Structure 1
Amino acid sequence: MAGFSSWLDTFVDEKGLDTDHRFDVEGPEWGWNSIPLSAVIEAAKQSASNEQAQIKSKLVEVDYRNADPMHFFEYLAKGMAK
């Protein structure tokens, strides 16, 4: 998805999210994982274009609902731990 990386960087910056924040999530093989938001962001940027579109759509929805985007990023971190 063209421009997704810069869009995501802008979103994170505008929301004032701490990219050093760590999500402590459990994975089936390695047990507990401590995954920084910056790693979740980089994984999202490396995902397939259809997945990037889904991530962007969900973040726009979260923003529209005035909800905390960190909950969605935690969901993505849990997926990374699997």
Structure 2
Amino acid sequence: MANPAHDTEGVARGGPTGTGQPARPSSFVEQVLAELRKVVQPTRQELITYTIVVLVFVAAVMGYVFGLDQIFRWLMGVVFAS
């Protein structure tokens, strides 16, 4: 089992030490920098692909919500027609 007191880069976590003292701000900064070192930038092709996937998904959800809106509009017209 991994040691829960350190992250994968070996930077000590600044969690409570049992003394009731808050974590040090410098420990937080060390952890943030360790996480940023793990970030992998997408290639241009990956970025284009992910952008297209997101736009298609958003368009599909918009179409779905628009369709539901039209159905409910029609249904309310039928129910409350005078």
TM-score normalised to structure 1 length? 0.26
Normalized per residue, the structure richer in strand is 1
Q: Relative contact order: is structure 1 or structure 2 higher (C-alpha 8 Å, sep ≥ 6)?
A: 1
